[in-house]
């Protein structure tokens, strides 16, 4: 989780990433990082399984685009 947060900050500051993040451009990479941070944080904070946290994230995304 800490590595993901550092990578997110690096992207926001237009710095070199220290970990590999998939994505065609910085925007897509940032989207992936935000999702991973949200899901892992949820798993740790609420002791949720991955699939439950993932469903929670996808629900937030669906709500934001409707």
Supply 14's token pair: 């237009």
How confident is the model over 32-38, as a mean pLDDT? Answer: 98
Phi/psi at 44 (nearest 5 deg)? -75, -45
* End-to-end Cα spacing for the chain: 29
Instruction: Count the residues in the chain.
Output: 66
Q: Would you place residue 4 in the very low, low, confident or very high pLDDT band (cuts 50, 70, 90)?
A: very high
Q: Would you place residue 27 in the very low, low, confident or very high pLDDT band (cuts 50, 70, 90)?
A: very high
Average pLDDT of every residue of the chain: 97
pTM of the model: 0.91
């Amino acid at each position: 989780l800490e590595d993901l947060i550092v990578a997110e900050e690096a992207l926001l500051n237009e710095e070199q990433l220290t970990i590999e993040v998939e994505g065609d451009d910085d925007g897509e990479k940032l989207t992936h990082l935000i999702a991973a941070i949200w899901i892992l944080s949820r798993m740790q904070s609420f002791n949720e399984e991955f699939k439950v946290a993932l469903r929670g994230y996808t629900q937030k995304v669906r709500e934001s685009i409707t």
